[in-house]
Each structure stands twice: as C-alpha cells, then as structure tokens.
Structure 1
Amino acid sequence: MIQLTDETVVDLERLAQKKYWNRQSTDPRANMLLTLVQFNVFQAFFHNSKSLSFTKDWLEYDADSAFSKADGKFNQAAPPTLQPIALQCRILHHPWLDLLPFPALRDNVLRIYDVWQGEDELCGAVIGFYSPPGPRSGPWDPRGWGVTEGFWKSTDGCCPVAKT
C-alpha cells in the first residue's frame, strides 16, 4: 500500500521538473529517460486526479472509482477527455482507469471488465508507454501521449495516440 503525504506529492512534482530540465541538457549524465518515462505517468495521473478532484485514495490497490458509486461526484470543470463515460458510472472499477484521457480506451476496457483478467498488465503497459506532453498539451490531452508499436498492436489501435 502506498501512503503519500501532500509534502511527498510536492517533492515528486519538483523531481519531475528537475528530471525534465535535466533531460533537455546535453550532459549525457543528465539523461534519466527510463525513470522519467515512468515518473511522467504518475505525474500525469496526479495532475488528472486533481482535475477530477480525486483524493489520494485512488492509489490504493483495492480502491473503487467514485464514478461507479451511487454518490459518485466529479469536477464538472474537468477537461472533456476526463469526463466519465456512461460505463464508468455503471461498472465498479479501479479509479486509475478514470485518469486516462482516452474515453474510447476506457469504454473498451470497461466493456470486458467483468471477464477480463488483464487489468494489472494494462496498468503496467500504461506505466511504460507515456511520452512527456508536447509544448501545447497537458496530461489530460491525448495528443501529449504516445505508445510503442507493440502496445498499439495489442490494443488494435483503440485509442487515438501517437505511435513512438
């Protein structure tokens, strides 16, 4: 179980900024791309969770999405790509899916959620496929995400992301 304090989240955000700027450097010692890729996923998830007014409870392994609960409320001002789709409000699921800015991917996963055994594998694949947002996009914007060709093929191109 992960316990994060507000101070830890601030520290993680500072580290992400430092790694991003170090990556822009020509110093070969500054290239932390592997850890940066994984860290950027969490940074995007934290940002998107704030946009949806989620608490840190979404980090718990056995957490349930607030969207799928009778009292599920969300930030109406959240970006359109993060607004819940109908299935998110009807099917009990883990909140990490709510943080993906791809409504079509969320819809496809939730359609087979009750019989599918691959959620942990998908979560692991997501951790490895994030590309830092471009200069005009943010973590809520699908144009700022990219996937490897292997991931693209495994999902039959179900979400509009750039192959990297």
Structure 2
Amino acid sequence: MEVFRHNSEKIGVKFEELTRSTCQSPWYSPFTSLPSNLVPFDTVPPDLYPTPAQRRLPHHPFIDLLPFLWIRERAITLDRLDPPAFDRCELKADILNNGMICWKPRAGREGLPWDRRSWEIQPWF
C-alpha cells in the first residue's frame, strides 16, 4: 500500500480518495480535444505519464498508479467493453496480493515506486 500512496501523491490524488468507487482519474477529461490540467506534468515521473486511454476514457485512478503504460492502456480499454473483459475488483485484488511487487530501495534511485524498473510482475499475473 505504501507504493500506491507514493504514486497517488505523484499524480495528485489523495490516497484516502482511492477507497471511493466514484473517484475519478485526474487524467480523464470529457473534452477529448483538451488535456486535463489537474496535474502538472513537471511533477509526474515519466512512467506515470497518462496514456491516450487514460485521457479519453473515464476510469478509477487506481489503475493510474501502475508504472506500466501498456497495462494501464489495455486495462482501461478492455474495461470499457460491454461486458468488460475482466472484473475490476479481481484485477485490483490480484495486484494487491503480490501479482505485482515493488522492491524496496537498495541504493540510489532503485526501488522508486513510480519507476517501472523497481517492479516485478509475477508469472501467474
């Protein structure tokens, strides 16, 4: 949970808000021609920059906390299918139950929760 707290701060979402099912991603804008100005890019690490799906499709910000753009893009896109291609609650539970592990810092910049190189995705995930 600590790594998700750090990443939520980086994208400007209060960690406590993540428990609300109605919490909206700060990257999403209903005006597809205009980017969301809720989060200044100069404070966001590159691995947390929004993907096109994050900007154009409404979604819960939990997915925004993952430093893998390809996972965020696919999860948001597949969640919009009717019916969704997966269960959001199961995805979140799998992530929180060690499907994705962020390793603690060892030296220098290693172990930063917003750096995809600090994470390991388990084979079963």
Q: TM-score, normalised by structure 2?
A: 0.78
- How many residues of Structure 1 are paired with residues of Structure 2 in the alignment? 110
Quote the residue 1:98 is aligned against: 64
Quote the residue 1:74 is aligned against: 39
Give how far 1:112 is off: 1.2
Question: Structure 1: which 4+ aligned runs deviate by more than 6 Å?
Answer: none
Please say if residues 133 and 145 of structure 1, whose CA atoms lie closer than 8 Å, have aligned partners that are also in contact. no
Q: Please, what is the CA RMSD of the aligned residues? A: 1.7
Give how far 1:134 is off: 4.2
Q: Which structure carries more relative contact order (alpha carbon 8 Å, separation 6+)?
A: 2
- Calculate percent identity across the aligned residue pairs: 25
Q: 2:90 pairs with 113, 118, 121, which one?
A: 121
Distance 1:139 1:92 in 2: 24
Task: Give unmatched runs, 5+ long, in structure 2.
Answer: 31-35
Distance 1:106 1:47 in 2: 17
Q: TM-score, normalised by structure 1?
A: 0.61
Larger radius of gyration: 1
1:133–1:143 Cα change, 3 Å: farther
1:48–1:72 Cα change, 3 Å: same
Partner of 2:79: helix, strand, or coil? coil
Task: Give unmatched runs, 5+ long, in structure 1.
Answer: 1-41, 152-164
Please say if residues 58 and 65 of structure 1, whose CA atoms lie closer than 8 Å, have aligned partners that are also in contact. no
